[in-house]
């Protein structure tokens, strides 16, 4: 077991926990455990997405509708 290393995301988390433990404000997105309270409108959007069956990982190149909205263009 000593030869097995943590994955990169866990290594990043460990680096971020040190300044956070000293009181620094660190916003972490690495493990699916936000370091801040989730706003009510985000919780509502999560519930709506779950009810709509959006319960799987997004495509590697991103959610087409979100990408289109961010760029203001229709993506095929």
Q: Is the pLDDT higher at 27 or at 39?
A: 39
Q: Based on the domain organization, do 42 and 76 belong to the same domain?
A: yes
Domain residues for the domain of 3 are 1-36
Residue 65: its H or E element: helix 64-71
Question: Does the pLDDT at position 48 exceed 90?
Answer: yes
Q: Based on the domain organization, do 32 and 42 belong to the same domain?
A: no
Q: Is the pLDDT higher at 48 or at 13?
A: 48
Q: Based on the domain organization, do 42 and 66 belong to the same domain?
A: yes
17 closest CA partner among 27, 8, 7: 27
């Amino acid at each position: 077991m000593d030869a097995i290393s943590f994955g990169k995301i866990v290594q990043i988390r460990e680096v971020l926990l040190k300044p956070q433990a000293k009181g620094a404000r660190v916003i972490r997105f690495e493990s699916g455990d936000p370091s801040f309270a989730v706003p009510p409108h985000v919780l509502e959007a999560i519930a709506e997405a779950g009810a709509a069956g959006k319960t799987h990982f997004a495509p590697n190149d991103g959610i087409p509708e979100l990408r289109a909205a961010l760029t203001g263009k229709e993506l095929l």
